């Protein structure tokens, strides 16, 4: 009798404990879920609203026309990597890939051999400058001679990386300006050889602004603090733009492709003025698609107006990320997520351009600028 009473008592206590510690808090939590004003606000990373928008979606896995990627990077690729690349390129209609990271001298030779040596119609390699002897008098002449040799070894253009104008300094600590006369000879040589110069000057302007709660790239700067360009260490964005524009103006026979919409993707009118003032200037859309995708009407009209000046490019290679470019350029899809959250807090919109414009962006402008690509692989 006594033991039976104990069992009942223990059972009652257990049930009560279960109710108090397990069931009741859950019920309370559910109630809390229903009244947002009682929740802790989510952090910026936690808040991931799911769109409820129901609208037409077009998943485009393959470009409508064969295209040239004017902006890609493959450092010292091995034959195996190149084989894999070609297989992947075929799946998305990527006909010609421009590797901007060819280097100079032996490295350039090896890169040309690994890529063009095996697939002559599928790859283009751009040379880069070496600054190793920057502080030895006569640098301008030597760097120009090296480029001439690189062209003999198969280079089809010159790529200038972003350290030029920002981190590159003379031994006395003076920054190399983008329009430094020491480099005039190499730009004139590019005009003579009809070689395009793809040049990355500065960075997105928010990287030069204070890292505060009004900064559009707050999250990217949190993830990569080294991308900040504080005034204590770097020239202002506008100084770099002025030097760059002076460079474009003083070499009118040289064709320049300003990487990443020249960092004017957030001000297309300004980019239009740059085009109007300099017929030798072009841009690529690599890694700045979100800028166009957040202003579909302006982007569409801009691409129609300046259809001879804009080139397709992707930058960091990933065969699975090109489809955002196809969808933005080829459809009118609305409010879809971008592939790189840190670049864009916003969703993007397709700005579908006419086929004639699409062909220019995909390949015709690149065919015009880059010597030695076989046009027969592309439609008229």
Residues forming the site for Zn ion (CB under 5 A):
315
159 three-state secondary structure: strand
Q: To the nearest whole angstrom, how small is the minimum distance from the Cβ of residue 227 to Zn ion?
A: 14
- Check residue 216 and report its DSSP letter: T
Residue reference for tokens 């050889």: 193
Residue reference for tokens 């200037």: 281
Q: To the nearest whole angstrom, how small is the minimum distance from the Cβ of residue 200 to Zn ion?
A: 6
Q: To the nearest whole angstrom, how small is the minimum distance from the Cβ of residue 198 to Zn ion?
A: 9
Q: To the nearest whole angstrom, how small is the minimum distance from the Cβ of residue 258 to Zn ion?
A: 12
Write the CA distances from 167 to 178, 201, 233, 234, 316, integer angstroms: 11, 11, 9, 8, 21
Of all residues in this chain, which one has the CB nearest to Zn ion in the complex?
A: 315
Q: Closer to Zn ion by CB, 139 or 207: give it.
A: 207
Q: Closer to Zn ion by CB, 150 or 315: give it.
A: 315
Bridge partners of residue 99, in order along the sequence: 72, 125
Please enumerate in sequence order all residues whose Cβ is within 8 A of that of 193, keeping only pairs 6 or more positions apart, or say none.
148, 151
Q: Closer to Zn ion by CB, 209 or 315: give it.
A: 315
284 three-state secondary structure: strand
Q: To the nearest whole angstrom, how small is the minimum distance from the Cβ of residue 311 to Zn ion?
A: 13
Q: How far apart are CA 77 and CA 109, in angstroms?
A: 12
Farthest-apart Cα atoms in the chain, separation: 109
321 three-state secondary structure: coil
Q: Closer to Zn ion by CB, 283 or 357: give it.
A: 283
Q: To the nearest whole angstrom, how small is the minimum distance from the Cβ of residue 320 to Zn ion?
A: 18
Q: Closer to Zn ion by CB, 75 or 346: give it.
A: 75
250 three-state secondary structure: helix
Closest CA to 157 of 317, 315, 368, 380: 368
Q: Closer to Zn ion by CB, 63 or 199: give it.
A: 199
């Amino acid at each position: 009798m006594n033991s039976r009473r104990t069992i009942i008592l223990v059972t009652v206590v257990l049930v009560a404990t279960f109710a108090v510690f397990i069931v009741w808090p859950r019920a309370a939590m559910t109630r809390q879920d229903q009244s947002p004003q009682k929740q802790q606000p989510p952090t910026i990373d936690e808040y991931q609203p799911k769109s409820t928008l129901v609208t037409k979606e077009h998943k485009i896995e393959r470009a409508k026309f064969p295209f040239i990627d004017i902006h890609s990077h493959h450092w010292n690729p091995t034959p195996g990597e190149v084989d894999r690349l070609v297989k992947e390129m075929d799946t998305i209609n990527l006909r010609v890939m421009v590797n901007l990271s060819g280097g100079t001298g032996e490295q350039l030779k090896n890169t040309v051999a690994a890529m063009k040596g095996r697939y002559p119609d599928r790859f283009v390699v751009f040379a880069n400058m070496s600054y190793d002897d920057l502080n030895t008098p006569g640098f301008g002449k030597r760097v120009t001679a090296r480029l001439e040799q690189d062209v003999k070894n198969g280079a089809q253009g010159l790529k200038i990386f972003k350290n030029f104008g920002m981190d590159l300094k003379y031994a006395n600590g003076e920054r190399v300006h983008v329009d430094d006369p020491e480099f005039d000879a190499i730009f004139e040589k590019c005009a003579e050889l009809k070689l395009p110069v793809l040049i990355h000057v500065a960075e997105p302007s928010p990287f030069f602004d204070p890292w505060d709660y009004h900064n559009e790239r707050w999250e990217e700067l949190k993830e990569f603090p080294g991308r900040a360009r504080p005034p204590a260490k770097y020239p202002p964005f506008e100084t770099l733009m002025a030097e760059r524009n002076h460079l474009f103006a003083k070499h009118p026979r040289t064709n320049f492709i300003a990487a990443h919409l020249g960092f004017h993707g957030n001000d297309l009118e300004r980019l239009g003025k740059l085009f109007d003032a300099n017929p030798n200037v072009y841009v690529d859309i690599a890694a700045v698609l979100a800028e166009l995708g957040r202003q579909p009407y302006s982007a569409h009209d801009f691409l129609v107006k300046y259809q001879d000046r804009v080139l397709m490019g992707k930058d960091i290679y990933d065969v699975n990320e090109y489809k955002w470019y196809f969808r933005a350029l080829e459809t009118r899809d609305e409010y879809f997520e971008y592939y790189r959250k840190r670049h864009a807090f916003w969703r993007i919109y397709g700005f579908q351009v006419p086929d004639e414009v699409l062909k220019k962006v995909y390949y015709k402008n690149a065919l015009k600028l880059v010597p030695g690509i076989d046009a027969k692989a592309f439609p008229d």
